[in-house]
């Protein structure tokens, strides 16, 4: 299929507001937002609320919610998240969803075959929206088509096209959430016994614990975090995982030092040396494996705030020697959609590449690649 044709056919999966054609809905709301149900009913008098799904519904709660609107009493059945797959016939509407909840809910909904989720509340969410790049496709059309054709399956092509649509419109609502967790594609994932390089740790080590669990006692994970205080915090948090080794350095194209803006959620290479910047050590994958006598690498994960291509270049010899599984973020710069897949292809055309998206915002679009045995 032509990528342009695919782009033109993509639906908006998380639109804000309810179209007039919808007349029956299942409302989804956390307990703290149940007060919005009456406001929704008043705003949509012609829409029948068939079910109220409350994911954090406490055990023993009433299984009915009764409202009085303009003198008329209406009672709505209430249930927990496990009820979702039993009601595919009604459109799903999330009331004022927090970002963290919506990410988890979209993943759960994908598992039971639900793609479109309408968003409603007091205000449109700031997440999932950013300045549009209307010329992005035109600028890279030939290269984007090449990468699209290289992808291993239809699901990957769907996500790849959806990310392009999201970039040119400024709306992440086109991106389908994956059924699987971040960094764990069904085909490409950390596995028992792997020697893994984990580029980009921060001090929030949930993924790192998962990696350590996945490789097990017979595997090893070498994690890299350039911000000194984050590396120290992560090392303390991972002290009970002997197979996880934390290194206070970032992964790049070569050894050296660079300044990073030290931010809680998204540290990145500093362009100006601002007040939050800190001087950090960098090392390449090839230097690290050679100097530490690591003679096998099975998996490389890179979430390094825009330096993914540099880190891949710095690991060229390691990749050519071992053909490891690659888990590489594609969302830090628009051009990464082209440059990263094409670079991996140039190293070894046998790499099969997949793309998946793990959130409801612009972050967490990830390229997964492996060389089949």
How many whole angstroms separate alpha carbon 213 and alpha carbon 210? 5
Percent of the residues in the chain that have a pLDDT greater than 70, as a whole number: 94
At 105 the pLDDT is 87
At 120 the pLDDT is 87
At 103 the pLDDT is 83
Instruction: Find the DSSP H helices in the chain.
Output: 3-9, 36-43, 99-111, 136-150, 154-169, 206-215, 228-237, 285-291, 308-314, 316-322, 336-347
The length of the chain, given as a count of residues: 373
Between residues 71 and 191, the one the model is more confident about: 191
Residue 284 has pLDDT above 90, yes or no: yes
The number of beta carbons lying within 10 Å of the beta carbon of residue 225 is: 29
Long-range contacts of 336-340 (CB under 8 A, 24+ apart): 336/306, 336/308, 336/309, 337/140, 337/144, 337/147, 337/160, 337/163, 337/164, 337/167, 338/140, 338/143, 338/144, 338/147, 339/309, 340/308, 340/309, 340/312, 340/367
How many whole angstroms separate alpha carbon 338 and alpha carbon 148? 10
Q: pLDDT digits over 42-65, tens only?
A: 889 999 999 999 998 888 888 998
Token pair belonging to 325: 């599984």
Residue 272 has pLDDT above 60, yes or no: no
| Rounded mean pLDDT, 227-242 | 94
Band of the pLDDT at 359, cuts 50, 70, 90? confident
At 222 the pLDDT is 98
Q: What is the mean pLDDT of the chain?
A: 91
How many whole angstroms separate alpha carbon 52 and alpha carbon 67? 12
Q: Are strands 277-283 and 250-251 parallel, antiparallel or unpaired?
A: parallel
Q: How far is CA 117 from CA 13, 29, 140, 194, in A?
A: 6, 12, 31, 38
| Rounded mean pLDDT, 317-323 | 98
Token pair belonging to 84: 């979702």
At 367 the pLDDT is 98
Percent of the residues in the chain that have a pLDDT greater than 90, as a whole number: 67
At 62 the pLDDT is 87
Q: Look up tokens 């007349």; give the residue.
A: 23
How many whole angstroms separate alpha carbon 163 and alpha carbon 228? 33
Q: How far is CA 28 from CA 98, 138, 205, 355, in A?
A: 12, 39, 30, 29
Instruction: Determine contact, residues 197/297, Cβ cutoff 8 Å.
Output: yes
Which of 21-30, 126-135, 190-199, 341-350 shows the lowest mean pLDDT across its residues?
126-135
Band of the pLDDT at 351, cuts 50, 70, 90? very high
Q: Look up tokens 């959806």; give the residue.
A: 162
At 98 the pLDDT is 78
How many whole angstroms separate alpha carbon 39 and alpha carbon 123? 13
Q: Which of 76, 81, 74 is nearest to 63 (CA)?
A: 76
Q: pLDDT digits over 131-141, tens only?
A: 999 999 999 99
| Rounded mean pLDDT, 292-298 | 97
Q: What is the DSSP string of 113-151?
A: T---EEEESSS--STTB----TTHHHHHHHHHHHHHHHB
What residues have CB less than 8 Å from 366, skipping those under 6 apart?
Answer: 182, 183, 185, 327, 328, 329, 330, 331, 355, 356, 357, 358
- Residue ranges and CATH numbers for the domains of the chain are 24-120 (3.40.50), 180-329 (3.40.50.150)
Residue 264 has pLDDT above 60, yes or no: no
Band of the pLDDT at 360, cuts 50, 70, 90? confident
Band of the pLDDT at 270, cuts 50, 70, 90? low
How many whole angstroms separate alpha carbon 107 and alpha carbon 101? 10
How many whole angstroms separate alpha carbon 97 and alpha carbon 88? 20
């Amino acid at each position: 299929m032509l990528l342009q044709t695919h782009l033109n056919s993509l639906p908006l999966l998380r639109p804000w507001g309810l179209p007039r054609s919808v007349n029956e809905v299942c409302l989804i709301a956390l307990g703290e937002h149940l007060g919005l149900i009456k406001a929704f009913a008043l705003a949509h008098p012609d829409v029948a609320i068939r079910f109220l799904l409350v994911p954090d519904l406490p055990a023993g709660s009433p299984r009915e919610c009764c409202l009085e609107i303009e003198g008329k009493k209406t009672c709505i059945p209430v249930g927990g998240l496990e009820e979702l797959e039993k009601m595919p016939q009604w459109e799903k509407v999330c009331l004022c969803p927090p970002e963290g909840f919506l990410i988890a809910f979209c993943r759960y909904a994908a598992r039971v075959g639900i793609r479109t989720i309408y968003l409603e509340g007091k205000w449109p969410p700031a997440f999932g929206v950013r300045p549009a790049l209307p010329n992005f496709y035109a600028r890279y059309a030939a290269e984007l088509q090449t990468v699209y054709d290289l992808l291993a399956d239809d699901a990957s092509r769907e996500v790849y096209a959806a990310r392009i649509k999201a970039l040119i419109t400024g709306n992440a609502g086109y991106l389908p959430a994956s059924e699987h967790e971040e960094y764990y594609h069904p085909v490409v994932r950390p596995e028992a016994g792997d020697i893994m390089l984990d580029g980009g740790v921060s001090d929030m080590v949930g993924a790192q614990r998962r990696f350590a669990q996945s490789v097990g006692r017979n595997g090893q994970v070498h994690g890299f975090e350039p911000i000194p205080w984050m590396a120290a915090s992560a090392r303390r948090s991972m002290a009970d995982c002997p197979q996880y080794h934390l290194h206070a350095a970032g992964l790049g194209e070569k050894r050296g030092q660079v300044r990073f803006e030290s931010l809680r959620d998204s540290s990145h290479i500093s362009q100006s040396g601002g007040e939050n910047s800190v001087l950090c050590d960098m090392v390449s994958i090839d230097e690290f494996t050679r100097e530490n006598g690591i003679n096998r690498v099975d998996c490389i994960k890179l979430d390094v705030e825009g330096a993914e291509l540099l880190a891949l270049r710095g690991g060229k010899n390691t990749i050519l020697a071992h053909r490891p599984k690659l888990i590489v973020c594609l969302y830090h710069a628009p051009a990464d959609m082209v440059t990263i897949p094409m670079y991996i292809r140039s190293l070894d055309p046998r790499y099969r590449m997949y793309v998946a998206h793990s959130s409801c915002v612009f972050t967490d679009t990830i390229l997964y690649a492996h060389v089949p045995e």
